Chain A
């Protein structure tokens, strides 16, 4: 089945120790997104890639970076995690374009714990 896959599902890192979260998709969608979701809050968009074009949200801290080496994979790098970065990180994909259906498909998420 076509899907969005996130690895690992659970990640524990130490305060200040860089961590990388992975997302892959078999949907061949050209747009990939990273969201941060804290408990009982709505998902917050960090950034997204439209093909190879990176689009950062204005309020995303510099501590968060992303890479998209090819259509299928996208990575979220947290350079120096703080306690406040503990959250669920969600990857999503969609088709892009001027018009059409823009349904987003989400992965299962990675729960990040910072100790």
Chain B
């Protein structure tokens, strides 16, 4: 059974810092990996999707990498801003598991002025 872990569970940084959020998964047989952002009491917003054949994806100040063989992904946020404060979730599409995502429990990020 695929398990997805995110470390740390919570992170507080001063504005302007570059930071890395980690995601690990136990089964490397994945279709792709998706990073989401969730603001308190809201739905999920898709940030980046990395196909299993890709190594990384970039969108603005965000860069996500994928190392399937080691079962790891990182989300890099450059020059963090208070508006980046949210919970960040990673999720993997598993092969042979139907059209389903398995989610991690998230990293709660707070960027302070």
Contacts and interface: CB of A to CB of B under 8 A. Distances in A.
Interface of A: 6, 31, 40-43, 45, 48, 50, 55, 88, 90, 92, 94, 96, 101-109, 111
B106 to A, nearest CB: 7
B61 interface: no
B43 A55 contact: no
B41 A104 contact: no
Contact of B104 (A42, A94, A106): A42
A43 B99 contact: no
Nearest to A110: B43
B99 A107 contact: no
Interface string B79-108: 000000000010101000011110111100
The binding surface of chain B is classed by DSSP as strand
Interface residues of B, number: 24
Interface of B: 4, 31-32, 34, 36, 41-46, 49, 51, 89, 91, 93, 98-101, 103-106
B44 A90 contact: yes
Given A88-B41, A90-B43, A106-B45, A45 B34 contact: no
Given A41-B105, A103-B34, 20 more contacts: A6-B43, A40-B105, A42-B104, A42-B106, A43-B89, A48-B98, A48-B99, A48-B100, A50-B98, A90-B43, A101-B49, A102-B99, A104-B34, A104-B46, A104-B101, A105-B46, A106-B46, A107-B43, A108-B43, A109-B42
